[in-house]
Amino acid sequence: MRLFRTFEEVQAFEDANWPVRLAAESPIAASERWPIHCLVCERDVEAAVNIGALFGDAPNLREGIVCPVCGMGNRNRLMAQLVHDLAPIAQFRKVAVFEPRSVYTAMLEKAGYEVAHSAFLPGTNAAEHQDMTATTYRDGQFDLAVHNDVLEHIPDTRAALRDNHRILRPGGKLIFTCPIFAIRSTIVRARMGEDGQVEHILEPEIHGDPLAADGVLAFYNMGIDLLEAVREAGFADVGLAVWYDPALGFTTNNHPLKNAADGSAVGNMLPAVVVATKEPAGRWLNSLFAGSRRRGA
Ligand SMILES: [Zn+2]
């Protein structure tokens, strides 16, 4: 695993890594099953490559490469491992997870984390309803906040990040995924007007959502400037954790589609997780930055 702070660092890794990805991922994408070592299960398994999510004709490797034992794909296994490594339960037991009960949250609970689930369920009386930009959680209530591919669907990214910061105790951690591209600046696909109506700027990009049959609109294709937004929300030690290792089932989501001039093509996503800490940051991540390596990197 490597942590990057800047666009230039990510771009250099992306360029250097590209031939490796092309060679490593073509045979995976062409296979039904692929042997990996699942770090969550700590065993060798035959992962299911294609779970039905596609980019063009090619399987979505970010959602796919599902371990038959824990049931988690590439993205969720990466999140699980980074939470395990960077937010150990002894110090980060109380966790806000911005998703309903899932295979992923069940894994956290089995490990002993105290999980507060939530979902955006406006207009309902559901106890779990939370607007991530203005939650009802108390200041400093949690040791850790986690979300998986939620942020790109929230019009006011910065309000969500500020509320993430508010609900964490000092020294608390934020660990999240969203589709993030090796581009400098975030692409705004849609805006929420003052009247609450969505204004489309680019063709609507709809992502699958377990809570919405028609899927959910992505307002953004995030660039590396997202890290700056996380810093501006008050966080320290903000970094993009990239852990590329096909043997562990951590791959790009689908390399054959790397073709857009602006680098935003859906196939062009590294296995990456945003990590940050609420001040006082201490020395939590300092040793991991600056191109340092950990196992599997
Ligand atoms: Zn597993």
What is the domain-level CATH number for residue 65? 3.40.50.150
For residue 55, pLDDT beyond 90: no
Nearest to 28 by CA among 242, 181, 255, 208: 255
Residue 263 alpha carbon to ligand 1 centre in Å: 31
% of the chain surpassing 90 pLDDT:
64
Q: What is the pTM of this model?
A: 0.90
Tokens of 155: 């019009």
Residue 154 alpha carbon to ligand 1 centre in Å: 30
Residue 217 alpha carbon to ligand 1 centre in Å: 30
Residue 123 alpha carbon to ligand 1 centre in Å: 37
Query: What's the mean per-residue pLDDT of the chain?
Result: 87
The answer to whether residue 292 sits within a structural domain is no
How many structural domains does the chain have? 1
Q: Given this model, what pLDDT does residue 209 score?
A: 80
Residues 133, 157: Cα–Cα separation, whole Å: 8
Residue 270 alpha carbon to ligand 1 centre in Å: 20
The domain of 251 spans 2-282
Residue 46 alpha carbon to ligand 1 centre in Å: 10
Residue 86 alpha carbon to ligand 1 centre in Å: 19
Residue 68 alpha carbon to ligand 1 centre in Å: 7
252 versus 153: the higher-pLDDT residue is 153
Q: What is the mean pLDDT of residues 91-105?
A: 94
The answer to whether residue 76 sits within a structural domain is yes
Residue 212 alpha carbon to ligand 1 centre in Å: 27
Confidence label for 296 from pLDDT (cuts 50, 70 and 90): very low
Tokens of 58: 């090619």
Residue 96 alpha carbon to ligand 1 centre in Å: 23
Residue 159 alpha carbon to ligand 1 centre in Å: 34
Residue 44 alpha carbon to ligand 1 centre in Å: 8
Residue 41 alpha carbon to ligand 1 centre in Å: 4
Evaluate whether 39 touches 77 at the Cβ level (below 8 Å).
Answer: yes
For residue 11, pLDDT beyond 70: yes
Residues 233, 250: Cα–Cα separation, whole Å: 29
Residue 75 alpha carbon to ligand 1 centre in Å: 12
Confidence label for 173 from pLDDT (cuts 50, 70 and 90): very high
The β-bridge partners of 212 are: 209
The answer to whether residue 291 sits within a structural domain is no
CA distances (Å), origin 38, targets 71, 101, 213, 297:
10, 22, 30, 15
Peptide bond between residue 155 and the one before it cis (omega within 30 degrees of 0): no
The answer to whether residue 290 sits within a structural domain is no
Residue 126 alpha carbon to ligand 1 centre in Å: 31
% of the chain surpassing 70 pLDDT:
89
91 versus 123: the higher-pLDDT residue is 91
Q: What is the mean pLDDT of residues 213-235?
A: 93
Residue 74 alpha carbon to ligand 1 centre in Å: 10
The answer to whether residue 293 sits within a structural domain is no
How do residues 186-215 score in pLDDT, each as one tens digit? 999 999 999 989 999 998 988 888 777 888
- Which protein residues have a CB closer than 5 Å to ligand 1 (ion)? 38, 40-41, 67, 69-70
